[in-house]
Amino acid sequence: MGFGIFLVLFASACAKARAETVPDGPPLQVPAPPQRVLAPVEEPPAAASVPEPEAPPPAVATPRTPARPAAAPRPRPVPPAGAQAPPPQTPPDTRELRAPSSTSAVTERSVRETLARASRDIGRVNYTRLSAEGRANYDESRRFSAQAEQALKERNLMFAATLADKAATLAAELVGR
């Protein structure tokens, strides 16, 4: 019976609880932003013959963040009537022809030797006797070899060396089985 009374008191207490909020004061009124004052740009005497464009009226907006002051547009110098415009400059050719360095020749030779070793090891493997994992490694080794050949054609020696090393490693594992 004590439990029933507790349950009734607990349920009635929850039913009456309400969160009431009292406003702290009147709503805030945001003041208008101050008027912008743009100082006129003084021009050199040589450009005084060019008419100055009128400055646009200040915008009446209320940005949340302070805006940067707008710069007045500068007039472009007008060439004399008899003068011709200079021809547009073409950028210099940045590509240089270089002879292959001795390090790249050494790297290419070592990549080709690694590919030959991988090819020799793959040639000694009987594909039909391999497990599913072995066949996957065999195919992957062949793929790495083909990608290394392509990288050599594109003169990407570092990538070719990495691929050839992977192909040789997989092929050596297959021969060791």
123-165, pLDDT tens digit by residue? 999 999 999 999 999 999 999 999 999 999 998 999 999 999 9
Of the segments 12-16, 29-33, 42-46, 122-126, which one has the largest average pLDDT value? 122-126
Residue range of the domain that includes 170:
102-125+134-176
Q: Does 159 reside within a domain?
A: yes
Q: What are phi and psi of 6, to 5 degrees?
A: -60, -40
What total number of domains does the chain contain? Answer: 1
Q: Does 148 reside within a domain?
A: yes
Q: Does 86 reside within a domain?
A: no
Q: Does 83 reside within a domain?
A: no
To the nearest 10 degrees (0 to 180), the angle between helices 132-153 and 157-176 is 160
Dig out the tokens for 115 from the structure: 């590919």
Q: Does 117 reside within a domain?
A: yes
Residue pLDDT, tens place only, 75-105: 666 666 655 666 666 666 566 655 556 677 8
Q: Is the pLDDT of residue 166 over 80?
A: yes
Q: Does 162 reside within a domain?
A: yes
